[in-house]
Structure 1
Amino acid sequence: MRYYMKSKLFKIKEDFWVTDGSGNKCFFVDKEFFTFGLQFKVEQNNMIRYRVREKLFKFLPSYEVFNENNDLIARVRKNFTFFRDSIEVESKYGDFQIEGDFFDFNYRIIAGGRVIAEINKEILAFTDNYYVDINYDNEAFIIALVVIIDDIIDKQRNH
């Protein structure tokens, strides 16, 4: 399934909708305001599916993902690399590897040696727009990972 994520150019609170190819609203990403580090919720059908919290005071970006019952279900950590992003995900759903290209425009999420999602950034846009092709049952979890990837890219650009 293909989804489209578009962030706002001038944003005070960074909430946004994730839509499908027909423009239907599928997931709502509710970013917390006035927090230290990234914190957000992924909602589907007005229900919280995942909460994400950035772990502070880490050398490389690190995040924790919680389910709707507030149980820790995943840890996400950026690896130290020179030329392209590499991110590890250890979760109750299994381990995932996220690989980026040299320019941080395209990413692949891999589980069990199989590509389960591809993230492509729209290059000629003033904002961060992404097409996300997901071939995995838990689409809300993948959307949470994509928002984390976007935060990592944003931090790299601003440092």
Structure 2
Amino acid sequence: MAMINIPLLPVKLGLRVLPDAWHAEIATRLFNHLMRGQTGAERIAEIDGVRLCLSIVDTGNELLFEIRGGRLERARRASAGTREWQVRIRGKLNDFLLLATRSEDPDSLFFSRRLALEGDTEIGLHVKNVIDAIEFDPRAHFVSVVGPWVVDVAQTLLFSNVTSRRTRNTTK
């Protein structure tokens, strides 16, 4: 089983101490920011209106989201007696981190039951497929955020710095 190379104890403590609504808000802002410039981001619109719950079993957190306008939004709690989500993904923190960082294949996480889908199966499988289709492209993200000119200049400066170091090291 793959493990994320960060200390999980401080993350788990933070998840247990702060309210779930804060974590959901941070997650939505981070997710929506990272989707800027991504080619797979348009697939999120396919699941518009879906209410999704991420249940982190080893910390006791339940983060509620809704897909609106092709964006992930923090969902408000439903009134008493109604189910708050259409699809819930349950699993341990490490497995969610493996999914988020693409360190392990999403299908293997679900088929090995380390992550479990609950609720509307058809919608759940569609959500899983949309998540699986997103391939993060750092360059496209940076171009979308700061513009192509800045990225090109930064890339040129970084590349020329690496080249000049190699040249200096080989001439010594």
> Shorter-chain TM-score category?
under 0.3
Structure with greater proportional helix content = 2
Structure (1/2) with the larger strand percentage: 1
Q: What TM-score, normalized by structure 1, do the two folds share? A: 0.26
| Rg larger in structure | 2
TM-score, normalization: structure 2?
0.25
